[in-house]
Amino acid sequence: MLETILLIVSVLLIAIVLLQSNKASDASQIISGGNATLFQKQKERGVELLITRLTMILGIIFFVISFILFLK
């Protein structure tokens, strides 16, 4: 039962991470100095905030289920 839930959470986690905006491309501009607003605090809004929170929740669920299965 837990293995099935872990599989579903894993697939959902992979899908939701792929939906996130590409923040790695912003980080690559550090070397070239192309992005002056990279280190400014920017608030996430709307769908982006939902995706970030959902990613965090799915990650925590994945960790907890994996830990429970490890202790069995």
pLDDT tens digits along 8-49: 999 999 999 998 876 655 555 556 655 555 556 667 788 888
CB–CB of 55/20 below 8 Å? yes
Render 9-72 in DSSP notation, one character per residue. HHHHHHHHHHHS---HHHHHHHHHT--TTTTS-----THHHHHHHHHHHHHHHHHHHHHHHHH-
In terms of phi and psi (left: phi > 0; alpha: psi -120 to 50; beta: otherwise), the region of 33 is left
Query: Residue 71: is its pLDDT beyond 60?
Result: yes
CB–CB of 29/38 below 8 Å? yes
Query: Residue 63: is its pLDDT beyond 80?
Result: yes
Can you give the pLDDT at residue 39? 59
Can you give the pLDDT at residue 46? 86
Global pTM?
0.73
